[in-house]
C-alpha cells in the first residue's frame, strides 16, 4: 500500500504540472499536492519519473512550445513568455540545447525532433503489472462499435524492434523516446500507433510489433535516424472501438476488445481479413474514447 501511496502522490504532482504549465510552479506547490515535505516530494518525483521536478517541467514546457511553433504562426517571444521563460534569449538557449535546433529555425522548417512525452506514473505501474491490480471479479460486457474505413496510398515511418510481438516486449527492446519522435512529425496523417506487421513487411531479424506513423505518399521530409519507411497501398481497415472506460482500467478494456476481435467473423458483412495489405494497429489507450484497434480487410467477391 505504501508504494501505491507514493505512486499516487507523484501522479498528483504530474497532474498539477500539466494543469499549470503556463504558470510559475514552486516546489512548495508540488509538496502541498503530494502531501509530503518538499524534500521528500522532490526525491520521490525524481525516483519515479527519472527527472527532478524543475528538469521535468522545463522539458515538458519546451515540448509544448515546440508543438505550438510547429502548428501555429506564433512569435518565438510570445511562446517563450507563454511557457514562463524570462527572456527570448533564455528560451532560445534552452530550446536549442533540448532539441539541437533554434526555435526560429524549427518554426520555419519543422523536422522530426525528440519531444518529451512523460509516462503517467500510475498508468505506467499498472502497465508493468499488466492489469493484475485492477481486474475485477466480474467482467464487464460492453458494446464494441465496428466500422470499415478507407486508407489511401501512404508511407509508414516505423521504428523496428528485435523480436517483439507485443507492446511490453517492444518497450524492453526499444528506447521509450520513439513515441516523442513520432508525435513530432508534422506531416502525419493520423496519430502514432503500435502496429503488428504482416510477414511481407518484416525484415529478417526484426520484430513483428513496431511503433510508427503514417504520412502522405509524397512525403519527402527527413526520416529520423534508425527509422524505416515503408510504402503502403490503399486498403480498407475494419476498426473496432470499445466503450469509454476509466483510465486505470485500460488493461481490462484492451483484453475485452481483443476477445471480441478474435471471435469476430467479418464475412457476415461481406469482408475477409487481408493482413498482407497493411499492418494491424492499436491506438494509444485513452479512456474517454474507448480502446481502438483496426485490422485490414477486403471485400469478398460474390460471383
Per-domain residue ranges of the chain: 1-108, 145-299
| 154 bridge partner residues | 216, 232
Look-up of cell digits 527527413: 222
For position 55, what pLDDT does the model report?
95
Question: Rounded to two decimals, what is the model's pTM?
Answer: 0.82
Torsion (CA) 192, 274, 220, 62 in degrees, nearest 10 = 0
Domain 145-299: which CATH number of 3.40.50.2000, 3.90.550.10, 1.10.1040.10, 3.20.80.10: 3.20.80.10
Q: In 164-287, which residue ranges form alpha helices assigned H by DSSP? A: 167-173, 178-184, 250-263
pLDDT tens digits, 187-242: 999 999 999 999 999 999 999 999 999 999 999 999 999 999 999 999 999 999 99
For position 138, what pLDDT does the model report?
43
- φ and ψ at residue 302, rounded to 5 degrees: -90, 110
Is-contact 204 176, C-beta < 8 A? no
In this prediction, the residues of the chain whose per-residue pLDDT falls under 50 are: 1, 130-138, 303
For position 232, what pLDDT does the model report?
95
Fold classification of 1-108 (topology level): Arc Repressor Mutant, subunit A (1.10.10)
| 195 bridge partner residues | 210, 281
For position 246, what pLDDT does the model report?
86
For position 134, what pLDDT does the model report?
37
What's the CA gap between 46 and 44, in Å, rounded?
Answer: 5
Q: Which residues of 193-220 are buried (b: 16+ CB within 10 A; e: fewer)?
A: bbbbbbeebeeeebbbbbbbbbbeeebe
Is-contact 56 117, C-beta < 8 A? no
Amino acid at each position: 500500500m505504501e508504494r501505491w501511496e507514493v505512486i499516487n502522490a507523484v501522479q498528483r504532482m504530474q497532474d498539477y504540472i500539466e494543469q499549470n504549465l503556463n504558470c510559475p510552479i514552486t516546489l512548495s506547490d508540488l509538496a502541498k499536492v503530494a502531501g509530503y515535505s518538499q524534500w521528500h516530494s522532490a526525491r520521490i518525483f525524481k525516483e519515479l519519473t527519472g527527472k527532478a521536478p524543475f528538469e521535468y517541467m522545463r522539458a515538458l514546457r519546451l515540448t509544448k512550445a515546440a508543438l505550438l511553433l510547429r502548428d501555429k504562426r506564433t512569435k518565438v517571444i510570445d511562446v517563450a513568455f507563454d511557457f514562463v521563460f524570462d527572456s527570448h534569449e533564455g528560451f532560445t538557449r534552452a530550446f536549442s540545447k533540448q532539441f539541437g535546433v533554434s526555435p526560429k529555425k524549427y518554426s520555419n522548417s519543422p523536422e522530426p525532433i525528440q519531444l518529451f512525452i512523460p509516462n503517467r506514473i500510475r498508468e505506467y505501474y499498472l502497465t508493468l503489472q499488466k492489469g493484475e491490480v485492477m481486474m475485477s471479479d466480474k467482467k464487464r460486457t460492453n458494446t464494441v462499435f465496428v466500422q470499415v474505413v478507407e486508407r489511401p496510398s501512404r508511407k509508414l515511418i516505423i521504428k523496428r524492434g528485435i523480436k517483439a510481438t507485443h507492446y511490453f516486449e517492444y518497450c524492453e527492446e526499444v528506447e521509450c523516446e520513439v513515441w516523442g519522435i513520432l508525435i513530432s512529425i508534422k506531416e502525419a496523417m493520423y496519430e502514432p500507433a503500435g502496429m503488428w506487421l504482416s510477414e511481407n513487411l518484416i525484415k529478417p531479424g526484426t520484430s513483428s510489433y513496431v511503433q510508427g506513423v503514417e504520412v502522405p505518399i509524397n512525403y519527402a521530409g527527413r526520416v529520423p535516424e534508425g527509422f524505416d519507411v515503408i510504402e503502403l497501398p490503399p486498403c480498407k481497415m475494419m476498426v473496432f472501438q470499445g466503450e469509454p472506460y476509466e483510465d486505470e482500467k485500460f488493461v481490462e478494456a484492451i483484453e475485452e476488445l481483443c476477445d471480441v476481435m478474435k471471435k469476430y467473423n467479418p464475412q457476415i458483412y461481406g469482408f475477409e481479413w487481408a493482413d498482407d495489405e497493411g499492418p494491424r494497429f492499436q491506438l494509444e489507450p485513452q479512456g474517454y474514447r474507448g480502446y481502438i484497434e483496426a485490422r485490414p480487410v477486403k471485400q469478398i467477391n460474390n460471383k
